[in-house]
Amino acid sequence: MKHFVSPSLLAADFGNLARDVDIVNRSVADWIHCDIMDGVFVPNISFGFPVIEQIKKVAVKPLDVHLMIVDPDRYISRFLEAGADILTVQIEACNHLHRTVSEVRRLGMKAGVALNPHTPVSLLRNILPYIDMVLIMTVNPGFGGQSFIMESYNKIAELSEMIRTGKYDVLIEVDGGIDTSNAGKLFDAGVNVLVAGSSVFGSKDPSATIRLLKEAK
């Protein structure tokens, strides 16, 4: 199983954003993770289309865009125009999830569905054939630097079994409290993609940290 790392720019230095994107470009990271927060779905506001467009200009890795916003359907095509390659929506924010992910795919992006810590993975059973990735939030969304919620391992195991039994081509991504101390255990549990922000950009050598995450055992 291939292991992916998607460093989160939420923890980058926005005064030197191009520099930090270039660090990711030159590292062994696979994607660049962009957290979009609207201050309504989550109690924080991050950034929007102008920033995504600037990131896309300097990024050489695919943009892994996570929408933590209400009514994401209004903006699907706009995020494609801004540069998203993978677009993940929150299951709690979508009234018609099948319609939403179908539109994401129709436009040529990979479609992901994210779950908050309290949301059971059983709700994904009927949507797995129509998506490319599930993002399990391992902290409560809205702020970086939080501690990993240990109960997430049970959700990962349950989801991994659902994917295996159904023979679905779906990646499992995790975000929140990810660092070199738990990366290997997460990969062993069935995770494919690690999102890491504070542990990468808060380290003395982000490129080395990315490599340690990707090669964790």
Cα(8)–Cα(21) distance, rounded to whole angstroms? 10
- Among residues 38, 64, 85, 175, the one annotated as catalytic is 175
In the numeric block, which tokens belong to residue 116?
Answer: 């908050």
Catalytic residue among 35, 85, 132, 179: 35
Please, which residues have CB within 8 angstroms of residue 180's CB and are 6 or more apart in sequence? Answer: 199, 209, 212, 213, 216
Largest CA-CA distance found in the chain, in angstroms, rounded = 46
* Token pair in block for residue 149: 């919620």
Beta bridge mates, 87 = 65, 111
The dihedrals phi and psi of 196, each to the nearest 5 degrees, come to -135, 130
Residue 71 falls in the annotated catalytic set: no
Give the contacts of 151 (CB within 8 A, at least 6 positions apart): 117
**C-alpha gyration radius of the chain:** 16
Do residues 124 and 91 touch, judged by C-beta distance below 8 A?
yes
Is 169 noted as a catalytic residue in this protein?
Answer: no
Residues designated catalytic: 35, 175
